[in-house]
Chains A and B, each alone.
Chain A
Amino acid sequence: MTALLQIIFDALSLGSIYALAALGIALIFGVMRLINFAHGDYIAFCVFAMLAPSTDAMAVMLLGNLPTVLLVPVILAIGAGLSVLSELLIYRRLRDANPATMMVASFALGFVINHFILMLYSSRPKSISLWPDLSLPVEILGARLPLLQLLAIIVTVAIVVALALFLKRTRFGLEMRAAAENFTMARMLGVRANRVILLAFAISGMLAGAIGLLLVAQTGTADIGMGGSVMLVAFIATVIGGLGSLPGAVIAGILIGAISVLMQVILPLDARPFRDAFVYGAVIACLIWRPQGLFAPKSAKQRV
């Protein structure tokens, strides 16, 4: 029983991070049909923003020394700021371009941010000690897990609920949902395109900051490739969840986390290193079965 619980918590905590990442991607995709490949680098940027530029293996905290109550909002603001800046400087000018162009532009942006960090901090992963107390194990229903894992799950739930409330109950949220479904129609009803898009970028950036904080606390390192592996899953989760569907992205993220952990347990020892291949295989199978995604929005489809 305990083993099962352990697995469930592992799946949920991994899935939470994937879900948050997928949410960040899905938000922007919803309003702009852009998959922001730079998102993983926003995460890395937020992480390194806590440190003083140096090439040492031991991280020197700069902003990271702020008390938590200040640190969290500051990092979230940095994420939002970077995200909004990319919209203002780059994506706004590519609004009408074809999807491939926007996508390559976002790679290029990610590339630039990545190498900017590289220039200041070198590629050595640095060890960071952020909120060390949270690594202490906690007993829940017989399973022992680090408090941090539990926290990741709780934080994700809180964020998802807050976002859901925002989208359902506020004017901004209404406009964003409408814009995600049919941007042009929303504009014809007076919804301001630029405002909605900026909002999506800001929230997406904040999510990147949150993921950065969680990753650092979990792994104790600041590594330039941190956002990378998470983002790969996030893109996949966004598509599998159903493009334009935020709940779909969240659920898909959790699902992929769950499948990952499950594979780790089920697969025979020899096959374990190939776990990821099975997960990606499952992704392809899912796409063949339901190419529009698991929770594709119910928008009235045009018949030719």
Chain B
Amino acid sequence: MISRSALFRTLSTPVILVLLLVVIAALAKLTGSGPFERTVTETFIRVVLVVGLYIFIGNSGVMSFGHVGFMCLSAYATAWLTIPPMMKKFSMKGLPDFLLLHQAPLIVSLVVSPLFAALFAYLVGRILMRLSGIAASIATFALLAIINVIYSNWDSVTGGTSSVVGIPMLTGIWLSLGGAVIAVMIAYAYGVSRFGLALRAAREEATAASASGVDIVKQRLIAFVVSAFVIGVAGVLYAHFLGVVNPDAFYLGLTFISLAMLVVGGMNSLSGAVLGVVVISGIIEILRSLEKGIAIGGATVAIPNGLQEIAIGVIMILILIFRPSGLTRNQELTSRGWPFRREGASKRALPPAMPEQEAYGKNH
């Protein structure tokens, strides 16, 4: 399917990304700071989430607002599976017996819960994937909202809007690093596979791709399901990181920040997904410690409370103004060199296929 040389060339990207993540993990361990380790763990979980988003959004070009819903699905699934039966009987009486009476180990849940999310994605995707563009985006928004409404109100099974507690807190820095590495590898493998290529072809020039035999709906569905699986993994990791879940943790806030990280990093590139998370998480951490106050000389310098969020918003806007295609300019990090300084790199990765239609039909 893929030529050897092509494989070699592109292989450097996931390798570089994985190395980057390992270095960050190592640094975190070296500092020996518990809180910092937790922060890095959470960052890695976000990497899994955003890479999962990239698998669908980056390859299909369709902006999906609904994927965090899959995270919700799998987070609750792992809660159902791994919380000790004693606690489940109180908070989620309506669960079927095979869940209520048993408790599964994390390793089982790590496979089953994302599969659950992926199955749901498959069923829903069969309906949604025939939509394109903005109609698809709004439909995924509606999907997110539906999941949120159902999980917030189906008290007997999900505990409703109150948090479900008792999830074994097993996600440490190495587990989350593992998750991030696996996510990157899945994303890379999908990207160079003929499925990924076909979908990207359809993204750039739908009619030509279709005329060449690409079944756009099927390819989108494949990406949708794969991305749901990866995001499902993020959901499991997150649930076992926090120890609690509630529906609002997987709603608008997380959706916006994850999409922002993806776009700021570079929506159409895997490197963009990873870099977006790392850079923005880094900035958030710096601002957070600035708010707590850092000691300079003998005094503590701190920025006023509440400014931290405003600052991150402003920084993201500034990045987008100066780099509209994101930090990576939609290119990948490769062994060939730094993509950031490439001269003449245009705002788009490829020239518009039919320039005539581009210039006039911009509104369509």
Q: Which residues of A contact B (CB under 8 A)?
A: 33, 35, 90, 93-94, 96-101, 103-105, 107-109, 111-112, 115-116, 118-119, 180-185, 228, 232, 235-236, 239-240, 243-244, 273-274, 276-277, 280-281, 283-284, 287-288, 291-293, 299, 301-302, 304
Contacts and interface: CB of A to CB of B under 8 A. Distances in A.
Contacts of B357: 302
Interface size classification for chain B? 35 or more
B127 A103 contact: no
B320 A182 contact: no
Contact of B361 (A108, A239, A302): A302
Interface stretch (B90-98, B108-116, B143-151): B143-151
Contacts of B326: 101
Contact of A94 (B149, B259, B320, B364): B320
A287 B139 contact: yes
B306 interface: yes
Contacts of B364: 299, 301-302
16 contacts: A33-B363, A35-B134, A90-B317, A94-B324, A101-B325, A104-B263, A108-B317, A109-B313, A111-B313, A112-B313, A112-B314, A240-B138, A273-B153, A280-B146, A288-B130, A292-B135
Contact of B363 (A101, A105, A244, A304): A244
Nearest to B260: A104
Nearest to A304: B207
Contacts of A116: 310
Contact of A184 (B57, B135, B359): B359
Interface string B254-271: 001001100110010000
Interface in B306-322: 306-307, 309-310, 312-314, 316-317, 320-321
Contacts, number: 151
A167 B201 CA distance: 41
Contacts of A276: 145-146, 149
B22 to A, nearest CB: 29
B167 interface: no
Contacts of A105: 316-317, 320-321
Interface majority SS (helix, strand, loop, mixed), chain B: helix
B195 interface: no
- Which one of A94, A103, A108, A292 has the highest number of Cβ atoms from chain B below 10 Å of its Cβ? A108
B260 A108 contact: yes
Interface string B161-190: 000000000000000000000000000000
A6 B307 CA distance: 46
A235 B347 CA distance: 27
Contacts of B57: 100
A48 to B, nearest CB: 14
B131 interface: yes
Contacts of A35: 134
A98 B324 contact: yes
B335 interface: no
Contact of A101 (B138, B146, B256, B324): B324
Interface in B64-96: none
Contact of B132 (A109, A277, A291): A291
A115 B320 contact: no
B138 A287 contact: yes
A237 B250 CA distance: 23
B320 A97 contact: yes
A183 to B, nearest CB: 6
